[in-house]
Amino acid sequence: MSAAGPVFVDLHGVGPAPDPAPVWIRCWKGTEPLWRVFWGWFFFGHGAMLGGAFGLMLIAMVFGFVVSSDSLDAGMTGLTSGAALVVLISVPYAFWSAVSVWRCAYNCIDKRWGHMARLTVAVYAMMILLPIGKNIFLYFR
């Protein structure tokens, strides 16, 4: 044994044991393959998040109407509550998925896909941050 620790000898050709960490931690660390993170979590994950958001906002609006059926304000209050809950859930997910794609970008055979993934994440971040910055600028003007 050396000072570096034990040496793994692959006698059966199966490779090292997989990382036992949950998938969201492996993505955050940048150890997952790019295709899985980009298509599974970034692309289709945002689609599932959008579908769930519309469903949650609809359920919250209907619940507002059920609570007070004679008032339009109750439905709008439910819709606003649902939208606030969607923001609280989707912002951390969007941040996690963008960082995960950025960190896993070069876990692919052709490194050009890594460049394209990072370009996609940069454009995605720009599309979110520029309108926020514009509104902040107009607010303090």
What pLDDT digit, counting tens, does each position of 55-94 carry?
988 888 888 888 877 778 888 888 888 888 888 989 999 9
What's the whole-number mean pLDDT along residues 18-31? Answer: 88
Three-point CA angle 118, 122, 123, nearest 5°: 120
Contacts of 134 (CB under 8 A, 6+ apart): none
Per-residue pLDDT at 130: 87
Query: What are the residue boundaries of the structural domains of the chain, listed by start?
Result: 32-139
Per-residue pLDDT at 17: 67
Mean pLDDT of the chain: 87
Write down the pTM of the prediction.
Answer: 0.76
What's the whole-number mean pLDDT along residues 17-38? Answer: 89
Per-residue pLDDT at 106: 94
